[in-house]
Amino acid sequence: MQPSRIWSEVDFDKEGKTIGYLRVPFSTNASAYGWIPVPVASVKNGSGPRVLLIAGSHGDEWEGQIVLIKLIQSLQAEHIQGHLIILPAANAPAVEAGQRVSPLDDGNLNRSFPGDPNGTPTMMMAHFIETVLLPGCDLVCDLHSGGSSLEYLPSSVMITPNSASQFRQSVDLLRVFGLPVGFATDASTGGDRSLTGACDRVGSVACLSAELGGGGTVSRNLLRVAEDGLARVLHHIGALAAPPKAPGPGSIQLLYRVRSNDFVYSPANGLFEPLVSLGDTVNDGQEAGRIHFTQEPWRRSVTVKFGTGGVVLCRRFLARAALGDCLFNVGRAWTPD
């Protein structure tokens, strides 16, 4: 592949802690030779695992960004063994705009892999992550949430790998992270254009993701749980030298998320009235919600139903819905055996 056009003052081979920017070239009417700053930290101490920590692939998913910002401020090289690369605002223009996709190119970073070194800023960033940062990594932790439009049960997430050894490793990481729910899925909703697709192409890179709430807000308690869980994961793989002070996780609920074809979607434009809550157990064919019509209040509301039962993992947070908007998805009870 062609080399990336992104450059940085951060030397990723240097021992110690280095902070700075990835510089994404972007020529505009207001800035002929300008570049977009993407904050990055590299913390390196001798031999050990190489780990890439990412948040802000979607700009309105705040929880992971805060977790990684705090980690950059607190972490020193002597605290780790190996190499941590931290991207707290991977799609920086989207983060600064407070929206899911970049305002510069409508780019969804988690739908842009493998990217393009000569493409739009989002495509250039995806290419840099896949060709420069991912090779040599032992683990990627990709922190998400439902963003402004969705709300998730706090969950750690794995994409089912092909090999038995990777499968066992992924299940172990779900348990170690210790969020209330751990769920597996056949594939990311972004398919091979997501970060998990990039990990597959690079090969031998374990990928642990998380859905940390959402709804355009931040839970103080969930931030603490996520920080503790990430510390346990880093210690578990040998990257964090000292064991975390926080107690280990309790039991978690393991689920297998249904395919995106089986999510519940809005059949029309209108106001969404949910009839179930996050964490509820629902049956096949059970009523999920109603769509009401503000311009025709005399029109009979439309009821939507779950095609597939399970535990409600995710719901639409916004009341206004349009045809095709995801309203719910569910996970079925799962035994990793």
Tens of pLDDT, residue by residue over 309-321, are 999 999 999 999 9
Query: For residue 15, what are the CA distances in angstroms to 6, 37, 48, 51, 332?
Result: 22, 23, 12, 15, 45
Query: For residue 57, what are the CA distances in angstroms to 223, 261, 300?
Result: 18, 23, 40
Mean pLDDT of all residues in 317-334: 97
pLDDT for 164 equals 86
| 3 state DSSP class of 24 | strand
- As given in the structure block, the two tokens for residue 42 are 């590299």
Name the E strands within 26-167. Answer: 35-45, 50-55, 82-87, 139-144, 150-152, 155-159
CA–CA gap between residue 170 and residue 160 (Å, rounded): 8
CATH superfamily of 7-256: Zn peptidases (3.40.630.10)
Mean pLDDT of all residues in 27-56: 97
Domain-wise residue ranges, the chain: 7-256, 259-333
How would residue 245 be classed by pLDDT, with cut points 50, 70 and 90? confident
pLDDT for 221 equals 92
What CATH number belongs to 259-333? 2.40.50.100
**CB within 8 Å of 72: residues ≥ 6 apart:** 19, 41, 86, 88
CB 306 within 8 A of CB 330: yes
